Structure 1
């Protein structure tokens, strides 16, 4: 009996030691927002889990890190984030807390679709075919030199503004002087970009952890297949809604709109979710009335009173959507679930009107 116990104990110690050895080789990874966390979690599935810096329910446009989030950055061997166009306050934090980490700005990745910010409060004349992707259709992909220069100009401008954002509470928005031209950073809402990023994430982690390179690449390929399934489901859901006229809370959804051939009539707030002027709110309200807008979408992080102001006295339905997937479980299944969630909310609002 004692011999059996000894063997069992020895085996357990060996198993724990082996598991510790394997996990020690897996990089520590930090990510900025939940959609990026979901993509990295899919690539790392079975090996480890990334840390999330900007918690769900908060806005990445302005955020104050908790000590635990700062420690996650400090411990990271790799950091995956959208870039300073989305979270200018995070750039200095990464440089200070993770100076030796492999840092990947996903908006800098070749092969993704990028779009410029839309102008004005209403988009009824917006034409998805106007975007220049070096002669490619919108499933394609390389940045032109001009677009790249514009992007880096905007990034440099945003980084200078990071000092203002760094001191903000969760969801705070002091955007005085912020420019709303240049690159729209909400590129994760085009699922084709998500597929490209899965490969980039896998290759970066494979470089840091060659022993698990095959697993990273296999996970990325499986994740791409899952996104393709989600794309088909989204297309089916949205095709059943017919024509839908809608207004969004802030101008964050044009990548999703462009990919799935729908178009918002306008946005109550700008692309960084800063407070809109009274004139902008009035313009959107007039658009809701004049166009007979079906749905006005609010977001959990922001001022619901503005939505009520825009819809008061109209027949427009309201429902909550979130480009960051508030309420969804984080982890390997998050990203396809986010695509489905957006489509379900749009389709549900359209069917109830």
Structure 2
């Protein structure tokens, strides 16, 4: 008796190869690693992204939540960005700078976040009562408008020595996250620490002999720089650069600038300079741009060290350094 059989279907070798590649790729991505098996790092804004790229090297894929050239303080996250935080192997941020990022990390990236502020000695936030905007009804203040940046000054990256400390902590965190490449992370972190300590020494030398010690800044971003190099900061706005002084506070600032002997009011590239220009005009001093290194514009060849060195060259004549 003849029994019919359905013809067998041979799977082409190209299909088998593709299936095998897919399996290997899936294995390579196990544990949340990104493209080509790289560790996925989400950085909150530019200075943290720069650190991650330098310490991570080719072993990481870095994405940044804050767009190039955008002011980072009051960043609002999209659902896609929140999802990326949840999927990432590591989130690198500065707690107190971007409340939306702090909240998203706490809810969606528990155990995978590295708060740079937790690795260094921090400074208290300046008294926001001095910097709060007051309208004709007496209302204002950063906290009232939903921009509470916490009790510490988050601008730690303006001190290269503290950035070196964060680099070491990041190297250790990446090594623990991706043990297969631990030696590379720690080696690159050590190299970066030497570079940042060298930058710190440039500032120490350049600002060692200055007639003036007061820097008048657009917002309170330079507290760590002032703390490290023996300077005093007078800021127009508080931690949030979008806050504006009341007319009364502006008059007080004018008197403080005149009494300090400061020669310059420093403006910024990412925020309006209108108030700073008014203060300089009222106090009879000049203006110059001092960059808080919160972001670089897309396509720019500048990076953290070059912007910081530019700041040093701006500070030296303004402070009458020999």
Aligned in 2, Cα 1:337/1:281: closer, same or farther, shift over 3 Å? Answer: same
Distance 1:236 1:33 in 2: 29
Query: 1:108 is matched with which residue: 118, 139, 145?
Result: 118
Contact 1:328 1:334 in 2 (8 A): no
In the other structure, the counterpart of 1:295 is 264
Indicate the SS of the match to 2:255: helix
Distance 2:244 2:112 in 1: 35
Contact 1:186 1:253 in 2 (8 A): yes
Contact 1:300 1:326 in 2 (8 A): no
Distance 1:73 1:118 in 2: 30
Q: Deviations over 1:237-291 (max 9, x none)?
A: 2235442433111111111111111222x11111222222222222111222333
In the other structure, the counterpart of 2:195 is 226
Q: Deviations over 1:151-200 (max 9, x none)?
A: xxxxxxxxxxxxxxxxxxxxxx7853766772212122222221121121
* Count of aligned positions: 281
In the other structure, the counterpart of 1:4 is none
Indicate the SS of the match to 1:46: helix
Distance 1:27 1:62 in 2: 27
In the other structure, the counterpart of 2:215 is 246
Q: Deviations over 1:22-43 (max 9, x none)?
A: 9533210001121111111111
Aligned in 2, Cα 1:252/1:232: closer, same or farther, shift over 3 Å? Answer: same
5 Å-filtered alignment, 1:199-278, equals: 199-239=168-208, 241-264=210-233, 266-273=234-241, 274-278=243-247
Indicate the SS of the match to 2:153: coil
Aligned in 2, Cα 1:317/1:175: closer, same or farther, shift over 3 Å? Answer: farther
In the other structure, the counterpart of 1:44 is 56
Contact 1:37 1:330 in 2 (8 A): no
Q: State the TM-score, normalized to the length of structure 2.
A: 0.75
User: Please, which runs of 5 or more residues in structure 1 have no aligned partner?
Assistant: 1-13, 123-172
Contact 1:234 1:339 in 2 (8 A): no
Contact 2:125 2:152 in 1 (8 A): yes
In the other structure, the counterpart of 1:144 is none
Distance 1:33 1:292 in 2: 35
Greater strand content? 2
Q: Deviations over 1:73-111 (max 9, x none)?
A: 24411101111x111122233345x446611122223xx
Q: Is 1:345 aligned to residue 309 of structure 2?
A: no
Distance 1:100 1:64 in 2: 19
Q: Deviations over 1:99-143 (max 9, x none)?
A: 46611122223xx22111233759xxxxxxxxxxxxxxxxxxxxx
Q: Is the radius of gyration larger for structure 1 or structure 2?
A: 2
5 Å-filtered alignment, 1:106-185, equals: 106-109=116-119, 112-119=120-127, 121=130, 175-176=144-145, 182-185=151-154
Q: RMSD of the alignment, in Å?
A: 3.3
Distance 1:330 1:49 in 2: 19
In the other structure, the counterpart of 1:81 is 93
Contact 1:52 1:69 in 2 (8 A): no
Distance 1:247 1:65 in 2: 32
Q: Which has the higher contact order (CA 8 A, sep 6+)?
A: 1
Aligned in 2, Cα 1:330/1:38: closer, same or farther, shift over 3 Å? Answer: farther
